Structure 1
């Protein structure tokens, strides 16, 4: 069975490709390499003993995308990761985010019409909830006005997918609203590989520990939380990769009747920014220089998942701890020296 993974050499995409290959799916990767390296392909091969087909395509390029789908009529599933993903950067570059995260999705869905009953897994985000009124966050929580252009793109994307299906499109889809993926493959052969200055917490922590960065900036210590820093639900990237495969199989096996559904994916536990820093220091026996700076635009105070639905319907539950993820992240960072 042939599965297309867009953004398949990115952080979550590459780990999901590994999970798919280990289940003997035939995987085709599209990636424009804007925030990753072709070397990730070698890491995937070393882990699995298989080399997935790779096409360097920017899905904003409609003609290139169209040619690709003309040549791949037997794709049965699509897992769509290709998107920009940093809250702070989206505030600075909103039009780039709308073009890359929204327009490109439209082009991809149009091309999916060439396929025979494709199954579609969308990489969504807990940012669709904005600052939720109640914690933990369930799928029934109202979608609030987004705190950032990034979060807004995910809201819009989910609406586009649902409108497309409601129009009679021959597509079945699941959006996975996940929380904060961290860590790396335990082999340290693939991991989070930001180009330039990291936009996410854990890579910046790891690079600071490795002395690539002078000091970690903690954005705000005056939030209404126990230690004043933001709280998030940090999930190991391999747990996250595995739920994509489970969701896809649910659709492929015709074991799910809904044309479209959404699931929260997290651990169900919230940890503050300082919790992450202190745990990283403890499990890896090192120090991370850090300082408190002003709040960052677009950040919400707290977000962590109610995982009841994903556990009961998909039969998935996070297996790895934050400590596991932070040890794996440091092992990966050491390989980058």
Structure 2
């Protein structure tokens, strides 16, 4: 199957491209390079030995999307493009709503015009808001605590309504928990710009000496050690989830949503200790105040993905730490000097 992979030059997109190609799919990447790198796509080609066309453009521009479909005739879409920082979304809500929802609308309209009705959508566990209980199942009430989560919740509503209105559509939303790690080759991994928004790249930069200490946002949550607890999922496992979802799109029409997580929670301090073990060095920490929009505990019940997609997480937090450290050690500045876009 030929797949149009939006956001395919980013962290999750590049790992998804590797796994799609490994399963025999052909990948075409569409990415604005606002948060992605052309060099990352070239490294996907090195890993896989396959040619991966990179189309540079904004998914929110219907003309750009139409040209991608006209020139490459994809059979399905895996939509990973979008702004994704929770804290940033609190300060820039309009930017997040405009970018993430306009891109989805343009993509769906153009795909329909070209007779393409299969889509895997990159959603998020933030659609559960501050859950009353854990582990989280797909049938729990949906709510949000930040604008980023709202864009994912609204996007799911759009896709659900679309699938009801037009039964040609087969759409699967994957509710990511917390992706971490890197490809075992060390060639691709998470390459944040400026101060990392996510925990593990920040830990890696502290472990490598690029930052003095890790800021821990709150140690007074009702958790095992007072720090936030999350379900950390190896990015390669997450990427395999996209392949599984794509392979099941032909089974039925309509809209489905699945959690992609391990089913286990790990606190910030537990994550730090795991990374210290992988890197063989200390990670100094400083406790600071809570961030707006953060919650205490969030981890998945991933059993529906096993039943519906035949998918389960296989790698551990320790595996992810080892792979993330390999990536950090080989690429201390990420793709610095290789960037082909701007914020």
Q: Deviations over 1:218-248 (max 9, x none)?
A: 0000111111111000000000000100110
RMSD of aligned alpha carbons:
1.1
- 1:26 & 1:4 partners in 2: Cα distance? 9
- CA shift at 1:61, angstroms? 2.1
Match 1:277 to one of 272, 275, 295: 272
Aligned to 2:55: 55
What is the 5 A alignment of 1:56-75? 56-72=56-72, 74-75=73-74
Query: For the Cα contact (< 8 Å) 1:113–1:169, is it kept in 2?
Result: no
Q: How many equivalent residue pairs?
A: 332
What is the 5 A alignment of 1:151-190? 151-168=149-166, 170-190=168-188
Query: For the Cα contact (< 8 Å) 1:75–1:118, is it kept in 2?
Result: no
Describe the SS at the equivalent of 2:243: helix
Match 2:328 to one of 327, 330, 333: 333
Query: For the Cα contact (< 8 Å) 1:216–1:291, is it kept in 2?
Result: yes
- 1:301 & 1:224 partners in 2: Cα distance? 7
Aligned to 2:340: none
Match 1:200 to one of 187, 198, 201: 198
- 1:103 & 1:200 partners in 2: Cα distance? 25
Aligned to 1:101: 100
- 2:167 & 2:68 partners in 1: Cα distance? 20
Aligned to 2:300: 305
Aligned to 2:9: 9
Query: For the Cα contact (< 8 Å) 2:278–2:325, is it kept in 1?
Result: no
- CA shift at 1:171, angstroms? 1.6
What is the 5 A alignment of 1:221-240? 221-240=219-238
Q: Which runs of no fewer than 5 residues in structure 1 stay unpaired?
A: none
Aligned to 1:29: 29
Query: For the Cα contact (< 8 Å) 2:62–2:110, is it kept in 1?
Result: no
- 1:213 & 1:105 partners in 2: Cα distance? 36
Query: For the Cα contact (< 8 Å) 1:41–1:51, is it kept in 2?
Result: no
Q: Deviations over 1:65-105 (max 9, x none)?
A: 22322333x31110000011111111111111111111111
Query: For the Cα contact (< 8 Å) 2:167–2:253, is it kept in 1?
Result: no
Query: For the Cα contact (< 8 Å) 1:123–1:176, is it kept in 2?
Result: yes
Match 1:259 to one of 241, 254, 260: 254
- CA shift at 1:173, angstroms? 0.2
Aligned to 1:127: 126
- 2:105 & 2:308 partners in 1: Cα distance? 28
Quick check: 1:77 aligned with 2:76? Answer: yes
- 2:199 & 2:112 partners in 1: Cα distance? 38
- CA shift at 1:117, angstroms? 4.3
- 1:19 & 1:335 partners in 2: Cα distance? 22
Describe the SS at the equivalent of 1:113: helix
- 2:71 & 2:46 partners in 1: Cα distance? 28
- CA shift at 1:212, angstroms? 1.3
Quick check: 1:288 aligned with 2:288? Answer: no
- CA shift at 1:258, angstroms? 4.4
- 1:318 & 1:196 partners in 2: Cα distance? 30
Aligned to 1:320: 315
- 2:92 & 2:167 partners in 1: Cα distance? 32
- CA shift at 1:58, angstroms? 0.9
Q: Which runs of no fewer than 5 residues in structure 2 stay unpaired?
A: 333-343
Query: For the Cα contact (< 8 Å) 2:180–2:320, is it kept in 1?
Result: yes
- Range with bigger deviation, 231-240 or 41-50: 41-50
